[in-house]
Amino acid sequence: MKKIYLIAAGLAVVFLIVTNLILVKRVSDAETAVELRDSIIREAGSRSSSLEVKYLKSCFSGLLLNEDIKAFNAELVAADQRKYTLDQALGKGPVLILRYSELNCADCVVFALRKIAEIAERYKVTPVIISEYSDMHSFKDAVANFGRDRFLFYNVEKFSDVDRKGVPYYCLLMPDRTVHAVFIPDKLHPQITDFYFENVVKRFFSNTDND
């Protein structure tokens, strides 16, 4: 009886420790998101109009703080039609992602792709493009047009719940498949997208050569 009691007590302790670690991580993620948001807004405030700062706050208040979003555990398809799990395709992370669908605003997609190409060149990072095309022919055309050599390009029908916004978005995919630091670019305010990338690279890719 005593042995059973000790085992039960031990399991309870382990459960409490695991629960505490999960809570600590969630708090840490939330704090990181707040710090990232605030740093971008501060920088935008010193270099942008009040209207742009207001837009930025609105965007972040709706998306950046939602840290419970997970990427779906779906297979990603490359242009050669090979299939990969998220871990196989993206590694441990964090990974800078552009997610878009062929159904999104065409100009918005072109803007998002152009900006992330600039970021890849400026900061020497390798973004991953995760698109949604209904057929492989259209996907292969997109890969050929937007830069097979500059990006890792994959196609998948569903990536995360953020897809329901119906717009292209940037995010970081963390090692636990959390979709972190989501940002919706606006082609009318390109400098705000620049602020976002400057701070994301500084915070999450600090070893990158930015010269």
**162 Rama sector, left if φ>0, alpha if ψ -120 to 50, beta otherwise:** alpha
β-strand partners of 130: 99, 154
Looking at residue 112, its amino acid is: A
- Residue 207, helix vs strand vs coil: coil
What is the Cα–Cα distance from 19 to 15, expressed in whole angstroms? 6
How does pLDDT run across 74-121, given as a tens digit for each residue? Answer: 899 999 999 999 888 887 778 999 999 999 999 999 999 999 999 888
Q: Which of 182, 170, 185 is nearest to 62 (CA)?
A: 182
- Residue 109, helix vs strand vs coil: helix
pTM: 0.73
What is the Cα–Cα distance from 136 to 102, expressed in whole angstroms? 12
The b-or-e profile of 187-208 (16+ CB within 10 A means b, else e) is eebeebbbbbbbbbbebbbeee
pLDDT at 146: 80
pLDDT at 25: 44
User: Which residues, 6 or more positions from 192, have their beta carbon under 8 angstroms from its beta carbon?
Assistant: 44, 48, 52, 55, 56, 186
**Superfamily name with CATH number, domain 2-204:** Glutaredoxin (3.40.30.10)
pLDDT at 24: 39
Where along the chain do its domains lie?
2-204
